[in-house]
Amino acid sequence: MRAHAFKDSEAKNKEISVGTFNYPMLMAADILLYDAAIVPVGADQKQHIEYTRDTAEKFNRVFKTDVFTLPEPYILPDTAVVPGIDGQKMSKSYGNVIPLFASYEELVKAVMSIVTDSSGERPENVYQIHKLVRSESELATIYDQHRGNYKALKETLIQDLDRYLAPMRAKYEELKEDSSIIDDVLARGAKEARAITEAKMEQVREAIGVR
């Protein structure tokens, strides 16, 4: 079994449900229904694209058709894996995220909880998050000035995150005041998506001989 999720659950002695096996195929269906040629993912999600390609290739080969596009992953090297506040990959299931729409107080709590160590010249967990919102050339000076002062570095990260996330937070609050905007976008998107998926499913049914 090559699935990362299975291996992770097995290593942590977690209960392995049918969802562990179904979820990759649900993701594959979401990709294949829309003929996605390139899919932006994190490095830890690359395996899902591999499952999708395997599924598409086997269907096309078995039914002698080209119904499904074989997608390619698109992984940005600087954000291939975003670390969480505990040093593991950032994931809601791990409870180690910094929410994009967090209030200033929530940002302070999250950033000050980032796990640090004193084994190197800089706190890597703090730095790896920091470089997502500020250039490494600027950070070189900041981290040199505050070498060993993790509290000061975390406080700087809080200010930079707050500035970076402020426009998103403002838009989020605006949309919360008038949810009809979101409802309209979702309704129009669902209509467009349904037209695409119905056409694709018609191709699938024709390929396998089911009408």
CATH code for the domain in which residue 155 is found = 1.10.240.10
CATH code for the domain in which residue 40 is found = 3.40.50.620
pTM (whole model) above 0.75: no
Domain that holds residue 10: 4-79
- What is the structure's pLDDT at 77? 82
The distance in angstroms from the start CA to the end CA of the chain is 35
List, for residues 165-198, the tens digit of each pLDDT value.
Answer: 999 999 999 999 998 999 999 999 999 999 999 9
List, for residues 133-155, the tens digit of each pLDDT value.
Answer: 999 999 999 999 999 899 999 99
Question: Quick check: 94 pLDDT over 90?
Answer: no
Q: How confident is the model at residue 117 (pLDDT cuts 50, 70, 90)?
A: confident
Average pLDDT for the chain: 90
Amino acid at 158: I
Task: Determine, yes or no, domain membership for 185.
Answer: no
